[in-house]
Structure 1
């Protein structure tokens, strides 16, 4: 007998901004997922999304209670960072759906501990960690494992985004370079190093630039994030003893490996999809195949929040010429 068909996972998407649109496009391209509702305060975003759309969560919950709309299996949160924790708690309280939230869930480890104390949170809550599954990161992880290089001794990661010139209303959805880019850098680094912690941290008063020195089991690194830039540009370089290096270009999704100063492997990309689509497609592949993956877990979100919070207590970067 033919195998029974599996019904698509039904999804409710909260937030139809820039990242919400990436979620919507990525989910719409999948045959194993069906987006059944969305919510966003913007009338134009609701009109364009192609699914039943609401202006606020209250309206969604009201229709769920009366049965006027299908209850999703999963709610995806692509709303501003400051709303994530409250929305997760409300969805856990008022629906039976699982929740996949954009990162960071919160930068407050105490609040995450409180959420984690709920009996249903670990099973129902997952947090997006899309950089950790990007094509160039997966390539780098496989290369390092195949060559037996172990964990690197030095890491330099620079994440630049052109946010400083954004209109105030749009920029308001971001918190700071450290809070918005730091989780991406930390999630990516967790594929290569163990036990990352902050040793020093300096940030511009408005949060638009930050430099963070970190330590890990086998060495140390620098994480830099900057909104004063003409375009997005994100790279990570990792070095081992003996002249071994891996250079990852997260914007182009390419990579280069050197051994003793000589190139040994080179990764290209076919250009079929843009960076965000590639990242989120890989993240959803992982979520739908293995929703218990550690890098999507509430436990990982709690670890990341603790590292983010360490920056507030860390000394300034002594060698840096700006504050």
Structure 2
């Protein structure tokens, strides 16, 4: 079996999470890392891993079949541009930029060089969600009335991260907007968002601790996106679907197994990316999917009620 050789761009929190998740893969191996922080580079310890101070050094060394972009969202576009210029297939962490325009620019850069570009919406690789989607697509639930997607984290990330994250709808909500489109096969047509002004920590301008969005979908259904940065039991994600013939609930990320589910999905995602680059079917989110998710997040952001009050 030929192992797909992956270069990791960025070894921060998310980059290290990918390293842990892919350590168990027989199909994909991270063989190189590009990370500008000397302290972070020194902390990396994985057999056979070559560490570089920047992307250009990693590209000059060669020996890669593709690259995984895990730098901060503000740097997604520049990383995609450099990798596309080098002709390397790209798996980019969500949201592939902070705006729909940036995601579209990334898509255009990859398309111009005929470079595969997949965006890391890992929910598409969770087996229980795949089964739910198959039931919906087969019509087992009938026509859909409503889909409710909940994502609540154990605790907020540091204020410095939140300030540059684009806000709760772009940092977290894009997962739910992509999940809604993927599960239902419908587009988000209208959206109303509202944010709680309750805050356990000193407020971070532009980033509420909790926010919700109610969406109209192109097939006549409605959808709810519920987001929170603080949930005492730990990180959770669940989805409820109500149809004319049946209903379903899927708690696909829930303590105490949340980390195991997440890491398994990241591994499956990378393996799916490698299979696609090798000529197999595309299973993951496309750049166009990333544009659609960010466009919905932007519409939530510009709704006046979505801006948290100070204090």
TM-score, with length taken from structure 2: 0.81
* Deviation larger for 11-20 or 95-104: 11-20
Higher relative contact order, chain-length normalized (CA < 8 Å, sep 6+): 2
Query: Is 2:79 the partner of 1:87?
Result: yes
Shift of 1:145: 4.2
Q: How does 1:89-168 map to 2 (within 5 A)?
A: 89-93=81-85, 95-118=86-109, 119-120=111-112, 123-146=115-138, 148-164=140-156, 166-168=157-159
Pair 1:19–1:113, CA change in 2 (3 A): closer
Aligned position for 1:260: none
**Unaligned 5+ residue runs, structure 2?**
198-204
Q: How does 1:1-323 map to 2 (within 5 A)?
A: 7-40=2-35, 41=37, 43-44=39-40, 46-50=42-46, 51-55=49-53, 57=54, 60-62=55-57, 64-65=59-60, 69-93=61-85, 95-118=86-109, 119-120=111-112, 123-146=115-138, 148-164=140-156, 166-169=157-160, 174-193=165-184, 194-203=186-195, 205-207=205-207, 208-216=209-217, 217-230=219-232, 231-242=234-245, 244-252=246-254, 274-291=260-277, 293=282, 295-314=284-303, 316=305
C-alpha separation between the residues in 1 aligned to 2:81 and 2:43?
28
Q: Is contact 1:15–1:78 with CA below 8 Å preserved after alignment? A: yes
Pair 1:90–1:142, CA change in 2 (3 A): same
SS in 1 for 2:149: strand
Shift of 1:219: 1.2
SS in 1 for 2:115: helix
Q: Is contact 1:135–1:278 with CA below 8 Å preserved after alignment? A: no
**Which of structures 1 and 2 has the bigger CA Rg?**
1
Pair 1:144–1:111, CA change in 2 (3 A): closer
Pair 1:171–1:9, CA change in 2 (3 A): same
C-alpha separation between the residues in 2 aligned to 1:16 and 1:114?
24
Aligned position for 1:259: none
TM-score, with length taken from structure 1: 0.78
C-alpha separation between the residues in 1 aligned to 2:188 and 2:227?
17
Q: Is contact 2:3–2:28 with CA below 8 Å preserved after alignment? A: yes
Q: Is contact 2:165–2:171 with CA below 8 Å preserved after alignment? A: yes
Root-mean-square deviation over aligned CA pairs: 3.0
Pair 1:33–1:173, CA change in 2 (3 A): farther
Shift of 1:275: 1.9
C-alpha separation between the residues in 2 aligned to 1:316 and 1:91?
39
Pair 1:170–1:272, CA change in 2 (3 A): closer
